[in-house]
A = this chain, B = another copy of it.
Amino acid sequence: MEDKIAMKLKVTQENLNKALGLVARVASTRATLPILSNVLLKIEDNRLNVSATNLDIAISCELGAQVAAEGSLTVPARLLQDFVSSLPAGVIELEQDEQRLKVTTDSYKSVVNGVSAEDFPVMPAIEGGTSWKIAGPLLKKALQQVLIAASGDESRPVLTGVYFHTVDGVLYMAATDSYRLAEKRLVKMKEKVQLLIPATALHDVLRIINDYDDEITVVHDEQQVQFRAGDVELVARLIEGNYPDYRKLIPASFATTALVPRSELVNITKVSSLFARESAGSIVVSVDEPSESIWIHAVASQLGENNATLKVDAKGSGSITLNSRYLLDGLQAMDVKAVQLGFNGKLEAVMITDVDSDDYLHIIMPLKS
């Protein structure tokens, strides 16, 4: 049967290279199922569809092709990607010969051994799910700000996800690893949304929407979510379970606040963190209202110690012990000029917000000092 349906087509190196760049990373040579290290090439509606999956996530990309004959085949993702990316710009001819793919250009004649497309696992289609749209740049920025707080610890699967949910007709995104929490307010929305999407899948979403300025379509049912950006599509399995009621952790008021130039606070935190290597990143942040200053103190019993200070606009005085990496992550998630740092007692959460906007908040739990 297979020699009857042997695809044959021409594509440009530029388009195929771009498609493989978006798709091939999901394919893994470490997968238990060898075919998961392959990409699936198939002709659909006179276009070439390139896709890969790791069974949790599937990404596919359609590209224009001059199709002479239909068919489908899977070939090693890494080889094809490295190969196509090394080829000069111009037309590439792809021709299927049973389970082999012939790749021909002016200077190259290659044969890549593949595996029948019949064995390639396909994620089930989303039937009759909820659908909504969101601007690509907004989703991109929100993901960049929130993903940092998701947990990498698989022992609590719920915390490895980002929680998309509506509150009073407004869409929010939140993530927490129980040491820090990030929440972003997105857009007004008629649909009721309550989705827990793996952070790993959203890192791939971030990659595929990177330079996509248009609207992203999001479709989801009980099991899966799909993000569609033009010719690229990502499907991911949702995480099951109830997300913690994180909003009760957001402090309503603060005994001490400081308005701080963000990039300068990043600098003194970075320098302080050098002295905090021995103490697992522990630094003491002090705000002093009388002297209008913020201090960061780090002590390394072996190496030495460091005191760094900045002039700030302070209300109230106090100090708190933080993990310097979490403070840096939070500050770097906000590309604004000035941030407000607010805290209460030594064991209560610190909150960082944009001085000029209230659509993002970042909370860090203190270390015991």
On A, residues with C-beta under 8 Å from B are 76, 79, 82-83, 86-88, 100-101, 107-113, 267-268, 270-271, 274-275, 302-310
Q: How distant is the Cα of A108 from the Cα of B267 in the complex, in angstroms?
A: 11
Can you offer 21 A-B residue contacts whose CB atoms are under 8 A? A76-B303, A79-B275, A79-B304, A82-B274, A83-B274, A86-B267, A86-B271, A86-B274, A87-B271, A107-B268, A107-B310, A108-B306, A109-B307, A109-B308, A110-B275, A110-B304, A110-B305, A111-B306, A112-B303, A112-B304, A113-B303
Q: Which of A100, A112, A302, A304 has the most CB of B within 10 A?
A: A304
Contact status of A86 and B307, CB under 8 A, knowing A275-B110, A302-B113: no
Query: Which residues of the other chain, B, contact A88 by a CB distance below 8 angstroms?
Result: 267
Q: Which residues of B contact A275 (CB under 8 A)?
A: 79, 83, 110
- Shortest beta-carbon distance, A161 to chain B, in Å? 35
Q: What is the bound-complex CA distance between A83 and B87, given in angstroms?
A: 44
Q: How long is the Cα–Cα vector from A270 to B307 in the complex, in angstroms?
A: 52
| Smallest beta-carbon distance A263→chain B, Å | 11
Chain B nearest CB, measured from A107 CB (Å): 6
A252 to chain B, nearest CB (A): 33
Question: Which chain B residue shows the least CB distance to A298?
Answer: B110
The residues of B that contact A113 with a CB separation of less than 8 Å are 302-304
Contact in complex: B307, A271 (CB < 8 Å): no
Measured between beta carbons, the chain B residues less than 8 angstroms from A112 are: 303-304
Distance A111 CA – B307 CA, assembled complex (angstroms): 9
9 further contact pairs, Cβ within 8 A, besides A82-B274, A88-B267, A110-B307: A79-B303, A83-B275, A86-B270, A86-B271, A108-B308, A110-B275, A110-B306, A111-B304, A111-B306
The reply to whether A304 and B100 form a contact with Cβ atoms under 8 Å apart is: yes
- On whether the beta carbons of A108 and B302 are closer than 8 Å, the reply is no
Give chain B residues whose Cβ lies under 8 Å from the Cβ of A87: 271
Q: Which 8 A-B residue pairs are closest in the complex by CB-CB distance?
A: A112-B304, A110-B306, A111-B304, A109-B307, A86-B271, A113-B304, A108-B308, A82-B274
Taking the nearest CB of chain B, how far is it from the CB of A305, in angstroms? 5
Q: Are A107 and B303 in contact (CB under 8 A)?
A: no
Q: Is the CB of B305 within 8 A of A111?
A: yes
**Complex alpha-carbon distance, A107 and B266, angstroms:** 13
Residues of B within 8 A of A101 (CB): 304
* Closest beta carbon of chain B to A93's beta carbon, Å: 14
In the assembled complex, the CB of A205 is this many whole angstroms from the nearest CB of chain B, namely: 29
A310 surroundings in chain B (CB, below 8 A)? 107
CB distance from A196 to the nearest CB of B (A): 38
Residue of B nearest to A297 (CB): B109
